[in-house]
Amino acid sequence: RPVEELFFGGAAGGGKSQIMRAAAAYVALELYPGGRSALFRRRRTELFATHLDKIRQEIPESLAVWKGEPEYEFRWVTGHVTQFCFCDHEDDIFGYGSYEWDAAFFDEATQFSPRQYTYLRSRVRSVRPGWRRVIVAAANPGGPGHMYFWQNFVAAAPEGTVFLATDVEPPGRPWPRAFLRAMLKDNPSLSHEDYLGVLQGISDPELRRAMAEGDWNLFVGQAFTEFREAQHVCEEFEVPDDWVKWYGLDYGYADPTCCLWLARVPAGYDLPITDERFRVSDRPRVLAYKEMYVREQIAQVQAINILQMSGGRMLGPMWCDPSIWNRQRDGSSVADEYAAILGSKWVLRGNNDRLAGVGRIHRALLSHEGRAPELVIMKSCRN
């Protein structure tokens, strides 16, 4: 299924920059003759070092004529024009306010701030009959735009799945997009061993691993660096009725409310985890297997949804942030609103000691000496 916005991201050395140039050439020569497109890098020096010198060697003059400063553009034999652009400073984006492109390519897109990327993306606004916008972004984990791309591409849907954009404000039209993971093995022109050796020179261990593995769950400043998708995430399956179950709830209105369904996995149970070393554990484990993640929804509606998602009955106690017992002006509390629908015996005060909680999660995620981690998250719990 065609998409209008594609994000290709992951490990360093996966050939992303070369793919950007190849895609730009394809659009110019095959897809949109007579059109206009732009290829972006965050900074001018990066644009020259990564693209301009190389593409002038790759594209023969019989296909395109290079126009240097101040245009920085290729004029193709098809009449298509590809501009090479950069934003050294945050507000340089407004210099492109009057531009109109049929396609845009953003190399190392996470180096752009979300404000920069979304504004420049809005300049892809061709109204030619039968043409659709083409936006391709490529990046490694990390950078100012990491969380934007993680939330709106990586975590929004399974890899390779076409879905509608979720960050489009009315009256915008949601468009189809997809995420494809880049891996070092995708690039046959590099020696994997040699390139991994180069990455060992990165001093920050989290950043080094993110660049080597293309893991979007890793970033500088991350709290739980033990997390590995192959070890801690399992495929979906029907949770047995006889397992002990409970809930954890963190309430919010403008900020999201998160409710998690959790179950105790008996020792010796074979979980569908990618890393086969951790499929079976000699101790019980905790499985987060369902989630409710909503914004701007009142407590009564949340409680009804929790009940419906649980098959019409509570499956165990719901441990909540103690702040929901704070009294409102009318004397009631959010806890009262939950209890009126779910039953007071199920709505219980949790322990919100942050330091103790963080330490507990660190221990639950830890795997050592071949022992499986205690915490497992079902793939459906994307948030």
What local confidence, expressed as pLDDT, does residue 194 receive? 53
pLDDT greater than 60 at residue 373: yes
pLDDT greater than 70 at residue 383: yes
pLDDT digits (tens, 9 = 90+) for 142-182: 788 988 998 899 888 888 999 998 787 656 678 899 999 87
Average pLDDT over residues 253-271: 95
Average pLDDT over residues 137-143: 87
**Residue pair 138/106 in contact by the 8 Å Cβ criterion:** yes
pLDDT digits (tens, 9 = 90+) for 201-230: 555 566 666 666 667 776 656 678 788 888
Average pLDDT over residues 95-119: 93
Q: How far apart (Å, rounded) are the C-alpha atoms in residues 328 and 240?
A: 40
What local confidence, expressed as pLDDT, does residue 88 receive? 92
Average pLDDT over residues 313-329: 94
pTM: 0.61
- Which residues, in sequence order, are CB contacts of 52 under 8 Å at separation 6+? 72, 84
Average pLDDT over residues 78-88: 94
Given phi > 0 = left and psi -120 to 50 = alpha, else beta, which region is 294? beta
What local confidence, expressed as pLDDT, does residue 42 receive? 93
353 versus 183: the higher-pLDDT residue is 353
Q: How far apart (Å, rounded) are the C-alpha atoms in residues 86 and 92?
A: 8
Residue of 225, 222, 259, 254 whose CA lies nearest to 338:
259
pLDDT greater than 70 at residue 73: yes
